[in-house]
Structure 1
Amino acid sequence: MSSIAKVLLEMGCSVSGSDISPSLRLEYLHSLGASVYVGHDPSNVAGASIAVVSAAIPPDNVEITTAIQNGIPVVTRAEILGKLVASKFGIAVTGTHGKTTTSSMIGVMMIEAGLDPTIILGEEAEHVPMGGRYGQSEVIVVEADEAYGSFLKIKPRIAVVTNIDDDHLDYYKNSDSINKAFATFLQGIDDRDLAILFADDPRVMQMEKGLRCRKLLFGFENGDLLAHNLVVRSRGYEFQVILDKTPLGNVELVVPGRHNICNALASIAVGLELGIPFQKIKASLGKFRGARRRLELIGEVQNILVLDDYAHHPLEIEATISALKETHKRRLVVVFQPQRFTRTQLLFDRFVKAFAGADIVVITDIYHRGTGEEPLPGVTGEGLAEAIKKNSNPRTIFVKNTDEIARTLTGLVKSDDIVVTMGAGNIDSVAREFVQRMRDGWKE
């Protein structure tokens, strides 16, 4: 929501909003001219001409009911995002994994190429504070979230699908429903427009059949745009880019993970479609440091590297562990905060297997603030930790409270280790606290 609010403020709109607690985001929006409130109250909607709500807000929220009673239109975040995309030449990045990084790569690449795009992301990135930026050009880049069918409100001119996996099963219920949603999204693209699809994903390629729009396929093994001759560097990769069997040149990345090569290929495809010269694309990708909470460097003290990552799905956890092991080759301590009771329950078996590659695993309680969920019987962080320890990684411990984790890590971590916190909740605060504790000499 904050990224959209920032863009609307930069467009000259009058914006107000509320959240249940103070935050740096609220302070930043206030500094830009927004009227911000802590807590929900009927008076907060006074004077509004439209009310925009996130999917996490229940329909009986007092501000929603007050808006309806006063004849103020209530629209979802997805609907307002769809209107913004429709007002420009829209580029939408969707997929179960990699949306934020790929849309950030594309946005930063366009800024550095001088295209001055509007950008709306799920997180901050270089040149895009708060994840939002209003540009004067006719191009807009957005992260199109598949959760709760939100992306179906968006009709882009260029659509990127990074992959398709099972998630948000509390809403979709099964894989077929997820596939149908992605198919519906892609089938809404006009004949003249372009779908950029990850060709190594069988579920994505199911969507490709029967599409009437133009298509460009990318991947390691399959597609029109390929990454060949991969070389692992100390913190990233170098690879050769080939389009329609013609080598374009080599690209270097300083973000780890083979999944980021796929994200880069998708970004290259967008850049070429927009007419950006390959050398400019290459230069931008070579400087890209990632988005906030995507293997973000929190600090390095006493030769201990501390990172934070948004990985909250089993496949993302596996990819992050694999990336760090491949590029760093150091002992890896993973701290994971599950998010949502439903996700933990429905993907439980996959979560149990996801941590096998870590050297030490720390699991904490399930985070559910802002999700609208209530605890489910038998679904706990402790239960997940026990299952991981029994079935895939015996070096797993459970620490119930996040405020106890940094202290626990001081007894586990050694010089030359990597510590990475993972999750979609507030686990990044643990990474920052641990770095501060190390800097203070591990004082009590």
Structure 2
Amino acid sequence: SVGVTGTHGKGTTSAMITRILDAADRDPGFIIGGILNDYGLNARAGSGDVIVAEVDDSDGTHRNVHVSYLLVNYLEADHLNYYDDLDHIISSMAEAIEENPRLRRAFVNGDCAGNQRLAGMVSQALVTYGTSDGCAYRGRIVEGGVPLRFEAFRGDTSLGEFTLPVPGRYNVINAMGAIALCDALDVPVDAMRAGLANFHGLENRFTIIDAAGVKVVKDYNSHPTAIRKVLESASELTDGRIISIFKPYRYTLTHYLKDEYATAFHGSHEVVITTMYAANEDPIPGIDTEFVVDMLRRNGLDVAYIPVQEDILAHLDATVRDGDKVIFFGGDDFFRMADAWAARRNGGAS
């Protein structure tokens, strides 16, 4: 059994592992928290000897999931309605590793500072992957954009070039995690290459819709690190402006990561902010939607504050021009809005 956990990229990395195992004719089972575009499913039984699971770490229950192979993609401050702080998150993951009697091997993103701290808190050696020197499995980007090409290394040995037909340089790190783990499962390198070359992502993870001269992007992210990585990758798509649309998420996350949010949207021509989604949290004095708007403006960003979410599309109709990239960061309500606006631009019903 394979488990993939951590702050970012666990669904995508789980899906990459699944695609590689399929290319190796292993017919894996999978349980993933998003629809895999290559299957139109988020779960299936499979007939092979491996099941791949995205392991939720939001409430500590990951400590009860005892898999044979565990991959930790990122450890950053998140889910602060449950955790006290980043130290609590890292110690919880250390417990998940130390208290798993079935664990054969654990893999961590060596580019992540949280995982570097984790390595000093567990008794077993962790297998590292990423893009930085010193990782046991390392990726080197050869060509950005779509498709993205990178060379993979196991130690000093090149495994050759790989191609990803999905956008996002950060996906090289996800892919290196999948390669490292599948190597432990004795998957041939050619099957890894074929699986990644035919990987088309998860629904609403950097999903691009062409809408009459505008690229509409849907991305299920609200964490500042992930937002920054999406914007970096979006800048490579075309030369057009980037319009970011964001609903602040949770008082706790906004408060704890306010400094990160202050710079997360740099590269956006405009940031459209609507009313915060509190997720049943108690308010924190001074932390609200207006705080986010003022913070972004103080950091030099052009911010349009539109309290009523339904008014966002009228604003886009009035301001968006050909060549722009409009990125909806959020959840299902934002994605329905993005789909409706793209359909209307393409001549369909809204």
Q: TM-score, normalised by structure 1?
A: 0.74
Residue 326 of structure 1, CA deviation: 3.1
Distance 1:367 1:157 in 2: 37
Q: Which residue of 2 aligns with 1:411?
A: 318
**Residue correspondence of structure 1 range 338-377 to structure 2 within 5 A:** 338-368=248-278, 371-377=279-285
Does 2:348 match 1:438?
no
Distance 1:145 1:196 in 2: 16
Q: CA RMSD in A?
A: 2.1
Q: Which residue of 1 aligns with 2:295?
A: 387
Read off the aligned partner of 2:297 and give its amino acid letter. Answer: K
Contact 1:120 1:141 in 2 (8 A): yes
Residue 410 of structure 1, CA deviation: 1.1
Residue 250 of structure 1, CA deviation: 0.2
Q: Which residue of 1 aligns with 2:7?
A: 96
Contact 2:23 2:194 in 1 (8 A): no
Moved over 6 A (4+): none
Contact 2:94 2:121 in 1 (8 A): no
Q: Which residue of 1 aligns with 2:135?
A: 223
Distance 1:373 1:300 in 2: 37
Does 2:171 match 1:260?
yes
**Residue correspondence of structure 1 range 260-279 to structure 2 within 5 A:** 260-279=171-190
Read off the aligned partner of 1:149 and give its amino acid letter. Answer: G
**Residue correspondence of structure 1 range 180-329 to structure 2 within 5 A:** 180-190=91-101, 193-209=104-120, 211-213=122-124, 215-221=126-132, 222-228=134-140, 230-297=141-208, 299-329=209-239
Residue 106 of structure 1, CA deviation: 1.0
Residue by residue over 1:130-184, the C-alpha shift from the partner in whole angstroms, topping out at 9 and shown as x without a partner, is 4111112232111112111121111111110111111112221122111111111
1:164 counterpart (51, 59, 75): 75
Distance 1:408 1:97 in 2: 31
Contact 2:71 2:106 in 1 (8 A): yes
The farther-off stretch of 285-294 and 119-128 is 119-128
Distance 1:367 1:209 in 2: 36
Match of 1:123, SS state, is strand
Read off the aligned partner of 1:389 and give its amino acid letter. Answer: R
Distance 1:197 1:253 in 2: 21
Residue by residue over 1:333-369, the C-alpha shift from the partner in whole angstroms, topping out at 9 and shown as x without a partner, is 111122223222332232122112211111111224x
Does 2:50 match 1:139?
yes
Distance 1:112 1:402, change over 3 A: farther
Residue 384 of structure 1, CA deviation: 1.1
Q: Which residue of 2 aligns with 1:112?
A: 23
Does 2:86 match 1:179?
no
Residue 207 of structure 1, CA deviation: 1.8
Distance 1:347 1:212 in 2: 31
Match of 2:236, SS state, is helix
- Structure 2 residue runs of 5 or longer lacking an equivalent are none
Distance 1:141 1:191, change over 3 A: closer
Match of 2:163, SS state, is strand
Distance 2:79 2:144 in 1: 35
Match of 1:437, SS state, is helix
The structure with the largest alpha-carbon Rg is: 1
Q: TM-score, normalised by structure 2?
A: 0.93
Match of 2:183, SS state, is helix
Read off the aligned partner of 1:310 and give its amino acid letter. Answer: Y
Normalized per residue, which structure has more helix?
Answer: 1
Distance 2:311 2:210 in 1: 21
Distance 1:361 1:384 in 2: 11
Distance 1:135 1:100 in 2: 18
Match of 1:206, SS state, is helix
Residue 225 of structure 1, CA deviation: 0.8
Question: Size of the alignment, in residue pairs?
Answer: 349
Residue 377 of structure 1, CA deviation: 4.5
Contact 2:145 2:236 in 1 (8 A): no
Residue by residue over 1:52-93, the C-alpha shift from the partner in whole angstroms, topping out at 9 and shown as x without a partner, is xxxxxxxxxxxxxxxxxxxxxxxxxxxxxxxxxxxxxx2111
**Residue correspondence of structure 1 range 16-95 to structure 2 within 5 A:** 90-95=1-6
Contact 2:262 2:299 in 1 (8 A): yes
- Structure 1 residue runs of 5 or longer lacking an equivalent are 1-89
Distance 1:210 1:342, change over 3 A: closer
Residue 231 of structure 1, CA deviation: 2.5
Does 2:36 match 1:125?
yes
Contact 1:91 1:157 in 2 (8 A): yes
Distance 1:192 1:433, change over 3 A: closer
Higher relative contact order (CA 8 A, sep 6+): 2
Q: Which residue of 1 aligns with 2:309?
A: 402
Distance 1:166 1:425 in 2: 23
Does 2:244 match 1:334?
yes
Contact 1:225 1:265 in 2 (8 A): yes
Residue 214 of structure 1, CA deviation: 5.4
